[in-house]
Amino acid sequence: MCRIQKDRDEMAFSEVFDIFAPKVNAYFIQNGIKFERSEELTQEVLSTVWSKSDLYNSEKSALSTWIFTIARNKKIDFFRKNSKLDFKEEDIREFLYQNRQVDPIEESEAKKQIERINDELDEQQKIMIKMNFFENKSHKKIADELEIPLGTVKSRIRHILTKMQRFLR
């Protein structure tokens, strides 16, 4: 790894690649990722090893630990990007209130509150709440997709939640 860091030695990288590519690929497959996609992710991991070799510090961790940390992060990103949450509001309500007598007045009040919140939020606010809470997207991912600064996303979501709280009192 020292030769890769100092000299950008392609032969040294080839050795690292030959040792770790099969292990990283097996790691992805063991975690339920199909073979074709696991190979792509393995390439991404080792490409990151090459491009960010200057970030590796042998005093902090073994090379294998560093590489598998990169692989774990790629795996998490893969599952976040490819997980689709498919649910309906009625399904959630049914789950939350199963085996419970629903008070029709309470339910109609909840519907009114939801309608009030829906009327109060503009389209951009609705999109941000949907992305964050229903699509499980991080603030960073929302910022990237909406092409706005991360701090703006955080403050807008905080503002929206405060606004929503007023209607739930």
Q: Are residues 77 and 99 in the same domain?
A: no
Question: Does the structure show a pLDDT above 70 at 90?
Answer: no
Cα–Cα distance for residue pair 113/106, rounded to 1 Å = 11
Q: What is the pTM of this model?
A: 0.51
Question: Does the structure show a pLDDT above 60 at 97?
Answer: no
Domain end position, chosen among 63, 82, 101: 82
Question: Does the structure show a pLDDT above 70 at 33?
Answer: yes
Number of domains in the chain: 2
Which pLDDT value is given to residue 102? 52
Question: Does the structure show a pLDDT above 60 at 86?
Answer: no
CATH number of the domain within which 8 lies? 1.10.1740.10
Which pLDDT value is given to residue 16? 94
Question: Does the structure show a pLDDT above 90 at 104?
Answer: no
Domain that holds residue 148: 89-167
Percentage of the chain exceeding pLDDT 90: 50
Can you read off the two tokens belonging to residue 143? 């910022």
Which pLDDT value is given to residue 87? 54
Determine the average pLDDT of the residues in 119-133: 87
Q: Which residues contact 24 (CB under 8 A, 6 or more apart)?
A: 41, 42, 45, 46, 67, 68, 71
Domain end position, chosen among 38, 61, 82: 82
